Structure 1
Amino acid sequence: MTAGDAPAWAVRLRAEREKQLWAVPEMARQLRHAAGGALPDLDSLVRMIKKWEAGKHLPGERYQLLYGRAFGISREHLFGTGAQPAEILAAPLGADEVADFGAWAEATNVGPGTLGYYAGAVNRLAHDYLHQPPDPVRVRAAELTRGVFGLVQNGRQRLDQTRELYGSAAKLCAFTAWACGDLGQMQAADAHARTAMILAEQADLLPVRALAFSVQSKTAFWDKRHTEAAVLARRGYECSPNDTMKVFLACQEADAWQELGDVPRALEALRSVDRARAEIDRDDEVGGLFSCGLARQLNYTMTVRLRAADPAAAIASAEQALEAYRQGEEWAYGTWAQIRVGMAHGYLLLRELEGVNTALAPVLAQPPDLRLATVVTRVAELGRLLAQTRYRDDPLARSLREQIDEYRAGKQAVGRGEGGAGDRVSDA
């Protein structure tokens, strides 16, 4: 085919390139820039451009769009909408063209180092959250999430790499859902929890799916959809591998049933907790926030005992939980606060105000940036119980109510949410 026989679109491609004063290698760089870098190497692109400008075969739809983006001209203007000559459209694929596609298929914008960085970053966030104020950790999670989203949306990876990126994105969304719930921001928590599940299903990784079920259960609980919360926790339990996340999902199910007042089902869920604990045979997928040590497990046991009107057993569970921390289990300020609030509740049911004061005092002394909305709500519930007639004139009860009012007033942004947070015990 001579230059005079080249189709109109081929002539336009060369003319537009020359109008920009671009040599063929520069045209290749412009196409790579338009694609965000996810194209074959420059040498391969140079060969392809020369064949296109010679009219040997029509660029595919993707490259037509990239040409339009590079030149700032519509695809229709560059390539036209009419049928191309049969000998051009029906030309067999050449070896170079097939090789170029193979090079494109191998191209990736991530490597083992990047994938490992994001996986490690998720684990660090989950551990840091147990000890640090929630908002700064959540900001770090947002930055990481944008990075992963950008890699998936704007680049190209091998299928196994894309799956791993989806898994990291699911974990990050799950983390953010949990943090938003603790901050009382339920709309954001729900959006992140749902996205975590979508990504987990795309990644097709059972441990990540179990984690997504956990945050969906928590979000449903906070929205007072307790039956749904129990069902979601059970579904997560059934798909979870034998790690402490499975223990935690059974705890969540027990918590949902006790909130509904269904003590028999809550007790059955606690039996699932014990079975899951006995069957652990692997490390946690993430750990930290998404793990369940003995103290956290006993915190849930305590809430069921309180619902069953067995305050002595609840206090015993709280004491065992605090002892687990003293024995070296990873400490989490949110769970620690709940344990002490639950212990105070047990003493209040026994009408032992000195016990209430001793259990609650360390929680009331927490700095404002560690006062999670969930814990604040549980402390407020104690304040309402202390306002009942039988305690109205008691000096210690009156002092506790005043301290609780001061605690709630000083909660700052950590306790302010979008409303509808419910009264779930926070389990950070």
Structure 2
Amino acid sequence: MTDSRPAWAQRIRVERAARGWSQAQAVAALRAHADVELPGQDSMLRRWKSWEAGGNMPDDFYRPLIARTFGTVTGAFFADPTRRDGNAEIIAATGMDTLDIISRLQASDVDAATLNALRITVDRLCSEYPYMPSAQLALQGREWLRRIAELQGQRLALAQHREMLAMAGWLALLVGCVEYDMKDRRTAETTRRAALSLGNEAGNSEIVGWAHEMRAWFALTTGDYRGVIAASEAGSELARGRPVAVQLAGQEAKAWARIGDRRQTEVALDRGRALLEVLPHPDNLDNHFTVDPSKFDFWGS
């Protein structure tokens, strides 16, 4: 028989059963992780039964508490993935399609609307990473990098210049990832360093953090676990409190797990978990440089 309950309700029951807890024991565990006193036992048991039955989704107070009780984060239990239509969003937000944007760039007409359209275009390209063939995505990413680079010779306000550098940094990160996927590792490392330089010049700590995350990823795939840890620590220091710091903690946890140091794995996971719980839920989970809370559970494996 097909289970029609919501995925979160099924998981609550599975996680409880995996630990051999009765529902009363699960409520006791919930109390142990709560910072405030919870309602009486009968009330909490009724609430728990309702959650497992999928009758009522836990509210904003109980969702993170349940996640913490089971050693994960809210987004992993109660994920809400979405898929955005980037092309439609560009037109809806700016009234311009890709050809309009290119025409404006060629005419050096860089106003607020053009910048916004460029910003959405970059987001769309970064969101195509799981879907578009690597060669095609690399080609498009390089083309937009070239167009943005050509504008650097134009007279731009300081804020516009920094914005352009940041968008070029995101595109360089994307192209570097795709190049690595295409086994062009030397070029990927060169592109990663270019992204790091652009992030530094733009004063964008998120881009800087992702450039270090790429270095950690490169090291992880080649078995250089100490290199992963070094890159993760360097990136975390520079991007403290930013979403990428969660991803860096995840890479560090993976490296410690491969080394076999369970304690350091848990330390890294705890650091990532604590930050992820206080960050707002991402607007676009398709963007390759967005931290997806639902993937948190896989980091220590």
Q: TM-score, normalized by length of structure 1?
A: 0.42
Structure number with greater Rg is 1
> Match of 2:257?
258
Q: C-alpha separation between the residues in 1 aligned to 2:295 and 2:154? A: 41
**Aligned partner of residue 288 in structure 2, secondary structure:** coil
Amino acid at match of 1:177: G
Q: C-alpha separation between the residues in 2 aligned to 1:275 and 1:238? A: 16
Q: C-alpha separation between the residues in 1 aligned to 2:248 and 2:212? A: 8
Query: 1:23-102 to 2 correspondence within 5 Å?
Result: none
Superposed CA deviations along residues 305-342 of structure 1, whole A, max 9, x for unmatched, are: xxxxxxxxxxxxxxxxxxxxxxxxxxxxxxxxxxxxxx
**Residues 243 and 284 of structure 1 are in contact (CA less than 8 Å); yes or no, is this contact kept in structure 2?**
no
Change (3 A) 1:282 1:299: closer
> Match of 1:162?
161
Superposed CA deviations along residues 50-96 of structure 1, whole A, max 9, x for unmatched, are: xxxxxxxxxxxxxxxxxxxxxxxxxxxxxxxxxxxxxxxxxxxxxxx
> Match of 2:227?
228
RMSD: 2.5
Superposed CA deviations along residues 194-246 of structure 1, whole A, max 9, x for unmatched, are: 11110100001222222222223223334544323222222323343645433
**Residues 243 and 282 of structure 1 are in contact (CA less than 8 Å); yes or no, is this contact kept in structure 2?**
no
Change (3 A) 1:259 1:217: same
TM-superposed deviation, 1:118 = 2.3
Q: C-alpha separation between the residues in 2 aligned to 1:182 and 1:281? A: 30
Change (3 A) 1:253 1:285: farther
Is 1:218 equivalent to 2:217 in the alignment?
Answer: yes
**Residues 247 and 273 of structure 1 are in contact (CA less than 8 Å); yes or no, is this contact kept in structure 2?**
yes
**Residues 166 and 199 of structure 1 are in contact (CA less than 8 Å); yes or no, is this contact kept in structure 2?**
yes
Q: C-alpha separation between the residues in 2 aligned to 1:235 and 1:285? A: 26
Q: C-alpha separation between the residues in 2 aligned to 1:134 and 1:269? A: 32
Q: Percent identity?
A: 22
**Aligned partner of residue 131 in structure 2, secondary structure:** coil
Change (3 A) 1:297 1:181: farther
Amino acid at match of 2:208: R
> Match of 2:139?
139
**Aligned partner of residue 236 in structure 2, secondary structure:** helix
Superposed CA deviations along residues 101-134 of structure 1, whole A, max 9, x for unmatched, are: xxxxxxx763223322221112111211123332
**Residues 229 and 255 of structure 2 are in contact (CA less than 8 Å); yes or no, is this contact kept in structure 1?**
yes
Amino acid at match of 1:270: L
Query: 1:9-408 to 2 correspondence within 5 Å?
Result: 110-152=110-152, 154-240=153-239, 242=241, 244-281=243-280, 283=282, 288-301=287-300, 303=301
Structure 2 segments unaligned to the other structure (5+ residues): 1-107
Bigger RCO (CA 8 Å, 6+ sep) = 2
Q: C-alpha separation between the residues in 2 aligned to 1:111 and 1:133? A: 32
Amino acid at match of 1:166: L
Amino acid at match of 2:198: L
Structure 1 segments unaligned to the other structure (5+ residues): 1-107, 304-428
Q: C-alpha separation between the residues in 1 aligned to 2:125 and 2:260? A: 35
Q: C-alpha separation between the residues in 2 aligned to 1:142 and 1:286? A: 23
Q: C-alpha separation between the residues in 2 aligned to 1:285 and 1:150? A: 29
Q: C-alpha separation between the residues in 1 aligned to 2:127 and 2:193? A: 23
**Aligned partner of residue 287 in structure 2, secondary structure:** coil
Q: C-alpha separation between the residues in 1 aligned to 2:269 and 2:282? A: 21
Change (3 A) 1:222 1:156: farther
Change (3 A) 1:268 1:188: same
Amino acid at match of 1:113: A
Amino acid at match of 2:291: C
Amino acid at match of 1:187: R
Amino acid at match of 2:144: L
Change (3 A) 1:162 1:285: farther
Number of matched residues? 194
